């Protein structure tokens, strides 16, 4: 795994699969920071509570804005 936090310790994390995880940590000011990576969804768009719900087997539905580009 890659150290994306430059040595900061993760408080709590859920790893559900490849490119499916969420974690929390405290920044240098002591504030709780939530991060999520989930394939097919914008980075950090899921809350840590939503990741916990998915872990417990609940379904989650999100809408995603589609963008079309002329090529």
| Ranges of each domain in the chain | 10-55
Whole-model pTM over 0.85: no
pLDDT in tens, 40-70: 888 998 999 999 999 999 988 877 777 777 7
Closest CA to 30 of 56, 8, 6: 8
Would the pLDDT of 26 be above 90?
yes
């Amino acid at each position: 795994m890659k150290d994306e936090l430059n040595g900061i310790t993760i408080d709590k994390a859920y790893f559900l699969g490849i490119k499916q995880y969420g974690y929390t940590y405290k920044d240098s000011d002591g504030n709780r920071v939530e991060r999520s990576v989930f394939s097919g969804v914008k980075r950090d768009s899921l809350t840590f509570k939503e990741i916990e719900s998915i872990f417990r087997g609940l379904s989650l539905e999100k809408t995603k804005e589609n963008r079309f580009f002329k090529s």
